[in-house]
Every structure is written in structure tokens, then in C-alpha cells.
Amino acid sequence: MMLCFLFAALIVALDQFFKQWVLRTLSIGEAGPEIIPGVLGLTRWENDGAMLNILSGQQWLLAGIAFIAAIALIMILLRYNEGFWGTLGLAAVLGGTVGNLVDRILNEGRVVDMFRTLFITFPIFNIADIFITLGFLTFLVHFIILTIKTEKPEKTVSAVPELVSFEQDADDSETESDSESDFIADIDAAVAEASNIDLSQPVVPLEDDYSAFLGDDVTTDTTPDISFTMESLESDLGDLEDYNIDDILREYGLENDESKV
């Protein structure tokens, strides 16, 4: 972070050094040597407006705007951590802004310009203007690239996961149903065993309670008249996870006690 502020300070120093050289060397409007023949030359000029002569004559208004902009840029740089080029661009804008602000404070609200294009007609500008422009463009390009990289592709909706989920739910339902059936079958078998009934033989129910006098030739059904379903068990006992089959038989008086005659 300190490097970006050092970079901004170097821009201010370079800008002010070159401006002071122009002030001592050239008079207002005087043309100097060509820096790049046919492309860029020197001409001293003092601008009481902003870049491209915007708000000309509003020196102190522009000085106030520059001061607020410099404070805002410092606050942004203290918090900005989105990459080297973005930070470098903001630091360049800060350096150029402070460079022109120093001019307005020391030169009665006017900014010293000196670079003149020779191949086209363009307003005269200075080093601070160059860094403001290049810094803004660098930050803008970096911001656009960063935005493109961080954009996530839209999620496509597929019906396949829903179909798989539906099939899985159906399988789970069938498994649960089979488990309930097995549980009821186990209880029925336990009841039959507790009642000494051979499930492989047909059972002939008696119409009255006089089976004891009819002898051993008649097969009697001594199974209590209990119809077991998951609903009836849960209605009577509550949560079946707290019971095993022996507990359920005892609740209905059907415990398989081998000691009984």
C-alpha cells in the first residue's frame, strides 16, 4: 500500500519539477524545442480551467473539487485490494490530481501546461494530465477484466436430477413398505409361535367356548383375535423404536413362555 502512495508522490515531484523548469525557461505562449520531431513540442501555457479548458475561469472551484477528489482517492486506496494494476491506476490518478492542485495553490489558481501536439490541433497539457488519463484508463480496463473474470455462468436447469430423485424416492418408499410388511410378518409369526399354532395347517375356528369337551380331533384356533398393522401398533404403543417383538407380545399378553403347559 505504501508503494502506491510513493508512486503518487513521485508523479507529483516529477510534474512540479518539469513545471518549474518551464516557468524559468519559457515565457507565456513561447514555443520551446520539439521533444519528438513532428509529434510533440514544448509551449508554455497557463490554464485557469480543467483539462480541455473545462470550467475556464473557475480556478478556486476547481481547486476545491481537486482537493475533495484527492481525499476520496486516498480513502479508496486505503481500502482497495483488487490487484496491482487497479491500485497502480488509482495511484497515478491521485498523483496527477495532487500535482495540478499544487499548481492552483501556488500559481493563483492557474495550472502550468507545456506539451503541444504537432500533428493535430489539441489543447496543451502537462505531466499531471498524462498520468490522470493513463491512470484512469488503466483502472477502467482492469475493472472490466476483473468483472468479466468474476462473472459466473448461468446454471442450466436439468430434468435428469429431478428424475433420479423421483426414482430414488420411489425406491425408498418401496423399501420402507417392505420393511413394514416384514415387521408385521415377524409379529404374526411370533404370535403364532407363542400360541403353538402350525401356520402350515388350516385353522378351523370354533363357534363357541366348548372346545375343551370336543376332544383332540378338532383343530382349534387359540390365537387371540388381534389384527396387527403398523397403524394399530403405533396407536396402542406409540413410537415402535422403543420396542422389540418380545416387548410387543408382552404388551398383548402373548409372551412365548416355554415353561407354560
pTM over 0.85: no
**What is d(CA 47, CA 63) in angstroms, rounded to the nearest whole number?**
13
Can you give the pLDDT at residue 261? 34
Can you give the pLDDT at residue 81? 83
Can you give the pLDDT at residue 87? 93
Residue 92, amino acid = A
DSSP letter string, the chain? -HHHHHHHHHHHHHHHHHHHHHHHH--TT-EEEEEETTTEEEEEEEESSSGGGTTTT-HHHHHHHHHHHHHHHHHHHHH--S-HHHHHHHHHHHHHHHHHHHHHHHTTT-EEEEEEESSS----B-HHHHHHHHHHHHHHHHHHHHHHHHPPPPPPP-HHHHHHHHHHHHHHHHHHHHHHHHHHHHHHHHHHHHTT--TTS-----SSS-GGGS-SSS----S------HHHHHHHHS-GGG--HHHHHHHTT----TT--
Can you give the pLDDT at residue 176? 60
Can you give the pLDDT at residue 100? 92
Can you give the pLDDT at residue 225? 52
Per-residue pLDDT of the chain (261 residues; tens, 9 = 90+): 788 999 999 999 999 999 999 999 999 999 988 999 999 999 999 888 776 667 777 778 888 999 999 999 999 999 988 889 999 999 999 999 999 999 889 888 889 999 999 999 988 999 999 999 999 999 999 999 988 888 765 554 444 444 445 455 555 655 666 666 776 777 667 666 655 555 555 544 444 444 444 455 444 455 445 556 666 766 666 666 666 677 777 766 665 554 443
Strand partners, 41: 34, 116
**What is d(CA 209, CA 194) in angstroms, rounded to the nearest whole number?**
20
Q: Sign (positive/negative) of CA torsion 175, 180, 183, 189?
A: negative
- The rounded Cα 32 to chain-centroid distance in angstroms is 57
Can you give the pLDDT at residue 171? 57
- Residues designated catalytic: 113, 129
Q: Which of 185, 222, 187 is nearest to 203 (CA)?
A: 222
Q: Are 211 and 218 in contact (CB under 8 A)?
A: yes
**What is d(CA 151, CA 97) in angstroms, rounded to the nearest whole number?**
32
Q: How far is CA 28 from CA 40, 49, 129, in A?
A: 18, 16, 19
Place of cell 519539477: 17
Alpha carbons within 13 angstroms on the beta-carbon side of residue 27 total: 0
